[in-house]
Amino acid sequence: MGNTGNMAPRFLILPVVFIAAMLYGCSSPAIAGSLVKVQTDNAAVNGIIIDQAGYIVTGNGALGDSGTLSVEIEPGLSYEGRLICRDSQRDVALLRIDAPDLKTALLGDSDLVRHWDEVAVWGFKPGDDIVAESKGSVTSLPEEGEIIYLQTNAALDPLLAGSAVLNKAGELVGMVSWNAGQPGREGFALASNEIQRVLDQAREAESDPLAVAPIDPPSVFSDRAVISWQTNRPATGQIEFGLKDSYGNRTALDTTMLNTHAVVLQGLVPKTAYYFRILSVDYCGNTVASKGYTLTTTAAGAQAGEFTISNVDVYDITSTAASVRWITSKPATGAVEYSADKETGCDSEINKDFVYEHKFRLNSLKPQTRYNVTIKSETDFDEFVEQRLNPFTTPPTSPVGCKMNCRILDFSFKTLQGGDFTNNDIAGKKVFIVFTKTSCPTCMQQAIFLNDVYRDWPKDTDMLMFMVASGEKQKDVEEWIKRYGLVMPVYLDPTAKLASGCQFRTIPSALFLDTGSVIRDYKSGGFGNRKDMEAAVKHFYEQER
């Protein structure tokens, strides 16, 4: 047994939720009242009630071209369902029913889910009125395009799309999606925090329907026109245009979700009237079409026009990246020069293609840093224009704290040689830390496991592994190292400051940190054997590459 101490968990340990019946093995699970059947024109699929206001989550692909929807909350009791939000990227859909006294699932925080956590999947099998269960463990926390999933070895049938994935506390931490059966996605479930984001979008879509603001007068030339508009919330952008009010042509869809939009109509005929309207689609798949407009191109050669930059936008700013876009009045190259305040020199991104629309993604920025940006464009006739933009500041990389997806607290350990080992020494490295005590038999096992993994790990990688002896005297640690022949680094935290700050419930405990010193995984109580520890380290290393 590990040393549990008296430190109550507040951050890294999942909150305990007591439910009226034991979840696993129970014929009437706590989630059962929240599971529903969604009947489409073609089939019945699973759904989960997640809000007292009548919101129900299910798989988007499973609905197909749903037509009418009926939601059966219990045998013989059904309500008409309204489709509120369809997010094809996350493969999730939200419906809503008007019904009293609904029992909702307890929505958990999927950021607190860790590898090897036990989970259970509950859902109706096709054509069956009995809720079936499948048990397993979380084997991976994959991320695809900033969308977080859970991967489990529980049996997940894509025909069970909309089924609930619960942790041992009975909290909903995921949902089986329709595309879980695709090759390479076996055992995938959408994380509950992604469901919460879609729920927020659905509420916004209902309270403030997507709309296009009146457009600015287009910039018109003999063979092209620049059209700008705004939407009341982030949406895609596209123009439908033609010689008649039936249009017939569409520009390429700009899938970037923005409030401010600009599109260039190209290949127009001089001195010709065109009809056009704007199409935008929000996160929930709600489409809005503007009223119809007209424009007339100028005569050929009548308006060569001054070479200008317009519709400049800096958007999608993260702690390490930002996007810049603009439109030029003539086909031109594009370049972005950017530098942090008080730095000499600058970085640049260049596109030598002659285009009207210019988009750049600035990567490898520093968190919480103010950047100065200048954009430049040049035509094939040596016309040149540049514009200095308003500076922008990147947000912090992660909040500091002892919970998942937070940057580890600052620390200063002592080496056995009397030096200091601080958080500055792990910057830019992937890190595996095991917290231990010499008086703990389980800690001895973990030390031997870590020693073997450390000894066999390739030394030319950006992976650090070490052990921290918390609340220990140096002579005791040195004797312990000698007794078990340990060769991996061991550092001293005499006052157990970091372990106390993180409020570990159990020693040994282990942390996995990414290259930004952000906590990406946590293991309480140690690993059952060396093979499990090595597999966990390899998995983390591959996931963070």
Which residue, 77, 82, 51, is CA-closest to 66?
82
In sequence order, which residues have a C-beta less than 8 Å from that of residue 275 and are 6 or more positions away? Answer: 241, 242, 243, 244, 245, 247, 292, 293, 294
d(C-alpha 78, C-alpha 92), whole Å? 22
Asked if 191 and 38 touch (Cβ cutoff 8 Å), the reply is: no
Structure tokens at 341: 């305040």
Look up the pTM and report it: 0.64
- The CB density around residue 77, as the number of other CB atoms within 10 Å, is 9
pLDDT of residue 128: 77
* Domains 32-204 and 219-296 in one fold: no
Identify the pLDDT of residue 144.
Answer: 80
What pLDDT is attached to residue 431? 95
One CATH from 2.40.100.10, 3.30.450.40, 2.40.10.120, 2.60.20.30 for 32-204: 2.40.10.120
**What is the predicted pLDDT for the residue at 204?**
87
- Alpha-carbon distance of 216 to 247, in angstroms, equals 20
Which two tokens mark 123? Answer: 């859902």
What does the pLDDT read at residue 58? 93
Contacts of 279 (CB under 8 A, 6+ apart): 237, 238, 239, 240, 250, 287, 288, 289, 290
Distances (CA, A) of 288 to 190, 256, 285: 28, 16, 10
Cα–Cα nearest to 226, from 326, 301, 335: 326
Q: What dotted CATH number matches 219-296?
A: 2.60.40.10
CATH 3.40.30.10 fits 412-543, yes or no: yes
Q: Give DSSP secondary structure letters for 260-302.
A: EEEEEEESPPTT-EEEEEEEEEBTT--EEEPPPEEEEPPPTTT
Query: Across the 545 residues of the chain, what is the mean pLDDT of every consecutive 10-residue run?
Result: 38 31 39 89 88 93 80 92 90 93 90 85 83 87 83 80 90 82 73 92 89 90 92 94 96 91 93 97 93 93 75 89 93 96 88 94 90 95 94 82 80 93 90 92 92 92 93 93 94 89 82 87 86 91 74
Can you read off the two tokens belonging to residue 367? 């968190």
Type and span of the H or E element at 478: helix 474-484
Dihedral sign of CA atoms 469, 472, 474, 477 in order? negative
Cβ atoms of 72 and 37 within 8 Å: the answer is: yes
On the CB side of 334, how many CA atoms lie within 13 Å of its CA?
A: 24
CB 60 within 8 A of CB 202: no
Tokens of 177: 């999606």
Domains of the chain by residue range: 32-204, 219-296, 309-393, 412-543
CATH of 309-393, one of 3.20.20.70, 2.60.40.10, 3.40.50.300, 3.10.310.10: 2.60.40.10
